[in-house]
Copies of this chain bind each other. A is one copy, B any other.
């Protein structure tokens, strides 16, 4: 038996606003940040669990405090019973009635629980000597459904439904794992499309994206309609008709404005429209989906929890589901969401970028393709070439694809030197 002996948090912030990397219609000056958690045990193996919540600057201290508030729950706790019942761990944390009051199941406290859950998954994968995607892909259907809490989901997905989905994918798991290792996983890039970039930079980065093998790029829109038309025309002329161009409004519009604005951009053959309006607005997303069909609506990076995703699927309010590695309560809740997407036949194309989101979320997509949906058709993971150098195993993206990570763990572990160098509180 081993015990948790340290539960250390750090308010890590990178001063990205200086270069306008990451600028969009709602977020003009983000400082990409991580409320970072490192869990240490007294085991001789020396293995640690790392996890974090991605934020964009101010408030990263609040998020760090929320993670730290969980220390009382973890300090001194025996590790092995926790690793043996990760579904129980999730339920115990998420249904702590006093903490749940602070959401419920949304915002700062819910994300903090996600960081802690993910850190324990990181530790579990390291102990088993497997990258997280491989660990999850080798669990039995029964072990996987035990990770999921079906409360509030049963009108759309029962335990039996989930078992059926997972069992159907079982026979071809080995074949798909081999295919993943040899062919990688499709990626798309948002690198060319930030609002703060000049037209010249948009052209140059779009050309580079195509040269790098990407078959989809994404442009931020929603600040100025004439600018959007101009930038989309430039992008389309630059990449030609065969490269997919998605657009991302970052919640800029009201329902009817969205429908109207998107019609002006339709001539550029849009792959999907991302976050057209408020991320809580299921009914508006459903109306926009009906109005702009067959152009798909994509959303999810700000989806607070599995109950919101369930409703978006029930209402046909999204046609591309974008999970996020650190918005919901960790791996368990994302597995629930991936199962919901499979039940409704909707592709999961994760949100990534930020800091470390690519590193973690790739594991979930790879698991999805092997053990849940059983396909990479229509699936791709967002890629932004940014801040990867701070991670122990930076993503390997080339030829327009993610290549499966090899190190044991969840991908969340940042270099100790980076955590230390960008410790916002230590810099004062």
> Which residues of A pack against B, CB within 8 Å?
26-31, 55-59, 61-63, 65-66, 69, 96-112, 151-155, 251, 254-257, 277-284, 287, 302, 304-305, 307-308, 310-311, 314-315
B281 lies within 8 A of A98 (CB): no
- Known A-B contacts A65-B65, A69-B58, A108-B108; the reply to A255 vs B101 at CB < 8 A is no
Contacts A278-B152, A279-B104, A311-B283; A98 near B55 (Cβ below 8 A):
yes
Whether B314 lies near A283 (C-beta < 8 A) is: yes
A255 to chain B, nearest CB (A): 4
Query: CA separation between A304 and B314, bound complex, in Å?
Result: 21
CA distance A311 to B305 in the complex (A): 17
Q: Are A62 and B65 in touch, CB under 8 angstroms?
A: yes
Copy number of this protein in the oligomer?
Answer: 2
Please give, as numbers and ranges, the residues of chain B lying within 8 Å of A284 by CB-CB distance. Answer: 152, 155
B282 near A282: Cβ-Cβ < 8 Å: yes
Query: Taking the nearest CB of chain B, how far is it from the CB of A284, in angstroms?
Result: 6
**23 sample A-B contacts, Cβ–Cβ < 8 Å, listed by A number:** A26-B100, A30-B97, A30-B98, A30-B101, A55-B98, A56-B97, A57-B98, A57-B101, A58-B69, A61-B65, A62-B102, A63-B102, A104-B278, A104-B279, A106-B304, A107-B107, A108-B108, A152-B284, A154-B257, A155-B255, A280-B307, A280-B308, A282-B311
Interchain nearest-CB distance for A290 vs B (Å): 13
Q: A281-B311, A283-B314 provided; 12 other pairs, C-beta below 8 A?
A: A27-B97, A30-B97, A56-B98, A57-B98, A59-B69, A62-B108, A63-B102, A104-B278, A106-B106, A106-B304, A152-B277, A283-B311
In the assembled complex, which residues on chain B have CB atoms less than 8 Å from the CB atom of A96?
58
B101 touches A103 (CB 8 A): no
How many angstroms from the CA of A62 to the CA of B58 in the assembled complex?
15
* Distance (whole angstroms) from the CB of A412 to the closest CB of chain B: 19
Pair A97/B283 contact, Cβ less than 8 Å: no
CA distance A31 to B97 in the complex (A): 11
- Pairwise interchain contact A29-B97, C-beta atoms closer than 8 A: yes
CB closest chain-B residue, reference A281: B307
| A107, B153: Cα distance in complex, Å | 21
Measured between beta carbons, the chain B residues less than 8 angstroms from A302 are: 104
A103's partner among B98, B107, B151, B310 (CB-CB below 8 A) is: B107
A103 touches B106 (CB 8 A): yes
**What are the residues of chain B within 8 A of A56 when measuring CB–CB?**
97-98, 101
Q: How far is the CB of A340 from chain B (nearest CB, A)?
A: 13
Knowing A107-B108, A304-B280, A307-B278, the reply to whether A255 touches B30 (Cβ < 8 A) is no
Q: Tell me which residues across on chain B come within 8 A of A26, comparing CB atoms.
A: 97, 100
Known: A55-B102, A59-B102, A98-B58. A280 touches B255 (CB 8 A): no
Q: Which of A102, A251, A304, A308 has the most B CB atoms < 10 Å from its CB?
A: A102
Give CA–CA (A256, B66) in the complex, Å: 34
Question: Once the chains are docked, how many angstroms separate the CA of A104 from the CA of B251?
Answer: 10
CB distance from A353 to the nearest CB of B (A): 13
B59 adjacent to A101 (CB under 8 Å): yes
Q: Is the CB of A62 within 8 A of B69?
A: yes
Among A69, A101, A279: residue with most chain B CB under 10 A:
A101
Q: Is the CB of A254 within 8 A of B106?
A: no
Closest B residue to A63 using CB positions: B102
Q: How far is the CB of A195 from chain B (nearest CB, A)?
A: 12
Give the residue name and chain of the B residue nearest to A283 (CB): B311
Docked-complex contact A107 and B102, CB < 8 angstroms: yes
Per the bound structure, the CA–CA distance linking A105 and B99 in Å amounts to 18
Give every chain B residue within 8 A of A255 (Cβ-Cβ). 154-155
The residue that A109 contacts in the complex, of B27, B104, B108, B311, with Cβ under 8 A, is B108
Residues of B within 8 A of A100 (CB): 26
